């Protein structure tokens, strides 16, 4: 049984002009101890997908339809009180984008970690639990007595990861965990996530816009565009044999140290508005292979390790 199966997930934001379809019919699955990278341009719905999986969307945002099946149980149908007590932080935890936005500047790190344990009615020794969690992310126990402004960016990010790991979740969602960090600290955070994935058996979902970064940790990659996953496949397949034209364009835009091609590659145009997205393929206006069939309902053709939403693969077998 897969660890996580997401089917037909839709999460919208209500506005006066109509719903913003931030996550629109997303499908993927993850096995135990498998890592997934979600990659795409800014405002494509990556962070909303993470928030939807955590059921932490606030009005005007909400999950409209679809299922989130964790260990065989559809947690999207759970009453909020049951989800909070049994699932959130205990089975699914999230490292939110921007550590300073996740930490309260007027409370010490220890106080904030205590609050998480109290909210979830932890019955063991809180001091020992906090010390264990801080050690797990490579921080000294003295950090617990400090305020967020007394820590470096990398230390704050480690604290947020420690907070997410307090109750030993099975699934960790990391939303842009290296944003605004220098290259050396980025490497430290990614190495920490790799260690947690490898040694602790934690299933990891890494949300990022950096294809080079995600290659270091992900077993498979989902390419997100305009609220939809347009391609899902193994990391090797995505890099060596990208199928969707958008994936191909992203790969081509990556700078390479060992290449004679000096041309700068980029994706022409802009993503469509998610207030009124196209009925067919949402990449149609920017795609060099656009054809009449692309204006139909977007397909979902099976690949060896995932799927691709593109009519170029019409002759492939449909996913059953």
pLDDT for the residue 320: 35
pLDDT for the residue 319: 42
pLDDT for the residue 318: 43
Give the pLDDT mean for 197-210: 89
Q: Which region among 108-112, 179-183, 214-218 has the lowest average model confidence (pLDDT)?
A: 179-183
Chain segment 41-56, per-residue pLDDT in tens: 999 999 999 999 999 9
**Is residue 169 scored above 80 in pLDDT?**
yes
pLDDT for the residue 102: 82
Inter-residue contact 30 to 37 (CB < 8 Å): no
Q: What is the torsion angle, in degrees rounded to the nearest 10, for the CA atoms of residue 63, residue 87, residue 8 and residue 43?
A: 60
CATH number for region 4-33+41-79+219-256+264-313? 3.40.50.300
Structure tokens at 137: 């992310």
Q: Which region among 57-71, 112-126, 235-249, 250-264 has the lowest average model confidence (pLDDT)?
A: 250-264
Give Cβ neighbours of residue 235 (< 8 Å, ≥ 6 apart): 37, 214, 215, 218, 219, 220, 221
Inter-residue contact 6 to 28 (CB < 8 Å): yes
Chain segment 103-149, per-residue pLDDT in tens: 999 999 999 999 999 988 888 899 999 999 999 898 999 999 999 99
pLDDT for the residue 96: 85
How far are the Cα atoms of 22, 42, 148, 232, 312 from residue 257, in angstroms, in the given order?
A: 35, 25, 38, 27, 31
Give the pLDDT mean for 186-202: 86
């Amino acid at each position: 049984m897969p660890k996580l199966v997401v089917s037909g997930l839709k999460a919208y934001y209500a506005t006066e002009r109509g719903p913003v379809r931030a996550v629109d019919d997303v499908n993927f699955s993850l096995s135990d101890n498998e890592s997934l990278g979600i990659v795409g341009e800014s405002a494509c719905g990556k962070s909303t997908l993470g928030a939807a999986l955590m059921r932490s969307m606030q009005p005007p945002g909400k999950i409209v339809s679809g299922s989130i099946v964790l260990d065989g149980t559809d947690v999207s149908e759970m009453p909020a009180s049951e989800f909070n007590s049994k699932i959130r932080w205990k089975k699914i935890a999230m490292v939110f984008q921007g550590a300073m936005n996740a930490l309260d500047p007027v409370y010490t790190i220890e106080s904030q970690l205590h609050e998480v344990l109290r909210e979830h009615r932890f019955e063991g020794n809180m001091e020992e639990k906090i010390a264990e969690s801080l050690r797990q992310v490579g921080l000294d126990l003295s950090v617990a007595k400090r305020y967020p402004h007394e820590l470096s960016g990398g230390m704050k990010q480690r604290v947020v990861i420690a907070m997410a790991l307090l109750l030993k979740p099975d699934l960790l969602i990391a939303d842009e965990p290296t944003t605004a960090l220098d290259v050396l600290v980025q490497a430290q955070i990614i190495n920490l996530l790799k260690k947690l994935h490898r040694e602790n058996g934690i299933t990891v979902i890494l949300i990022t816009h950096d294809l080079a970064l995600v290659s270091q940790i992900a077993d498979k990659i989902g390419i997100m565009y305009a609220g939809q996953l347009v391609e899902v496949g193994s990391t090797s397949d995505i890099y060596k044999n990208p199928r969707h034209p958008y994936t191909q364009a992203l790969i081509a835009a990556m700078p390479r140290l060992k290449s004679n091609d000096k041309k700068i590659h980029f994706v022409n145009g802009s993503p469509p508005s998610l207030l009124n997205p196209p009925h067919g393929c949402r990449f149609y206006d920017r795609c060099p292979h656009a054809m009449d069939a692309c204006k139909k309902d977007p397909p979902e053709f099976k690949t060896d390790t995932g799927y691709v939403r593109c009519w170029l693969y019409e002759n492939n077998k449909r996913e059953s």
